[in-house]
Structure 1
Amino acid sequence: MSALAHSRSGSGAPLVLLHALGLSRASWAPVLPALAEHFDVVAVDLPGFGDSPPLAEEPSPKALAAAVAAFLDEQGLAVPHVVGNSLGGWVALELAALRPLASLTLLSPAGMWPGDTPLYCRVSLRGSRWLSVHAGGLLSRAVDTRVGRIAVLGQTHGRPTRLSPAQAKGALRAMATAPGFDAVLAATLHRHYAADAPFTAPVTVAFGDRDRLLIRRRYRRLHELPPDRRVADLPGCGHVPMADDPAAVAALVLASAGRGAVATG
């Protein structure tokens, strides 16, 4: 497929950012300035989201990872650091099985459940999609206020008032207009991440203590990850933590990439 829609900023070692289901590369905006001070940051719209066209084939996480791998080849990004949030974390893990990566930072990664996608997650995601499509105007007006941002975005963000009204509206618009949302959600329902192929990139995984989507420990099984993984907490953060605490997320990425630099140095 053609190169995925993306934005690029900063200089240094390449760092690729992969967003959550229903969002776009714009979700990384709160942490981009800090990351661009240290990296050549490439924020990508996954196929079917933002400005990237959907895949012609079933968009499973492995297929999405293959599309990202092709994009990396097109861009000449041989061994980048990769950060993935939610679905993006699952895609990052599948990507690590396809090609060398310098490091992996997983923020509330999806797919770490034992069988099918949990019913609670399915209902929550379908509900968010339905509301964004059918009540988008009402929700857009609501997020002009602090109370409205809490009500509308409180499930995905631990501190939704830290989003500006414009950022909140952008998130709602991304959810409502993503042409690949339904197909990608359907492609994940009867799948989970399984470490079929070993990889050597160091892994750091973090969950926010206000994550209201992956609320149960059995949604966060980590035994499929390498034994030397590092697990971190993001206090005050939700499922999409970048706007909740940009400094903490940037520091986590920097430390994780530092492990990768040591491993490959």
Structure 2
Amino acid sequence: MKKKPKSLIKKFVLHLFAALFCIIAVVFLVFGIKGYSMYRDAVTAYPIPQMVSSIQSRENFVEYEELPTIYIDAVISVEDKRFESHCGVDFIAIGRAVWNDIKAMSFVEGGSTITQQIAKNQYYTQEKKLERKFAEIFTAIELEKYCSKQEIFELYVNTIYFGDGYYGIYDAAKGYFGKEPSELSDYEAIMLAGLPNAPSAYSPSTNPELAHSRMKIVLSKMVECDVITQEEAEVILTDGK
């Protein structure tokens, strides 16, 4: 008795998925090994405790307690909404990013956490290569073992670029608004939270309209994460005008 066409098609599809799975597994294994070697070389040359201490000893280092709560909530909402619960790597975000990259046949999304961004910025280049991504992941996991979540957040906001030559939240608050980070208004804090995504494009001194548009995105993410209401978001936007 001949097999039905549907049965043959189903079998072909299953074999195809099995082959793709094997190919992906081999690719991940090869680049995972390369990434692990890259990670070991990086943290041996510049140990994580040394990196952390170097940043914490910088002039005008801003501690977690000095940051406005709304700024902390804004950064986490827009950059890494599962920051408080993951181990340094958000596998849900990575899975989504991998799927989107496969569909686009290009590296269009990274799925990096705040911890991974620190690892990338302090140890590796911005080059989009799989082995670098794996190295970043291994480094992020080790960083989470060494530092508390608050310390990791401090490292992030004290080192990221905010545009106009400002590195770190202290210089950005002073440079854009002439204030200490603790003195920022809700509007100013949320504006700064949105800048690191594209600091040159969203700089309020050169592109105030784009900066305001980016603020709306940050506020919508905060509403999605239930840290503010839609009404509170609208009040913040109105107060800043």
| Rg (Cα) greater in structure | 2
Q: What is the TM-score with the length of structure 2 in the denominator?
A: 0.30
Higher strand share: 1
